[in-house]
Amino acid sequence: MNVRLYIWQRLTAALMVPLLLVHIAVIFYASRKGLSAADILARTRGSVSWALFYGVFVSAVAVHASIGLRTVLTEWTPLRGRTRDFAVIAFGLLLAVLGFRAVVAVVLP
């Protein structure tokens, strides 16, 4: 793995740790309070804060997972060069699109 990708993966990992902890805390809070999906959506609709929070989370996950997949493909498959990189970029874009679609569904009124 080149140094640039190594650094990006470590930075996204460091960014994801607090985001994941907040995400899990929110899940525990919602389940402890017995909130339904409708209750949760009522609280998240129109919230710029939640949109930014989960937008950053999705971005970090898409970059981090793509770099990790690139490493796995390099070590465990015969894929190399442009074929591997195309597959990894496509995977990252798919994750980003699906993640942002979920953010929009939860946040937009």
| Contact by Cβ (8 Å): 95, 65 | yes
| Structure confidence by residue, pLDDT tens digits, 41-93 | 999 999 999 999 999 999 999 999 999 999 999 999 999 999 999 999 999 99
| Contact by Cβ (8 Å): 27, 65 | no
Q: What is the band of 1 on the pLDDT scale with cuts at 50, 70, 90?
A: low
| Structure confidence by residue, pLDDT tens digits, 3-50 | 999 999 999 999 999 999 999 999 999 999 999 999 999 999 999 999
One DSSP character per residue, the chain reads: --HHHHHHHHHHHHHHHHHHHHHHHHHHHHHHTT--HHHHHHHHTT-HHHHHHHHHHHHHHHHHHHHHHHHHHHHHSS--HHHHHHHHHHHHHHHHHHHHHHHHHHH--
Global confidence as pTM: 0.90
| Domains of the chain, start order | 3-107 (1.20.1300)
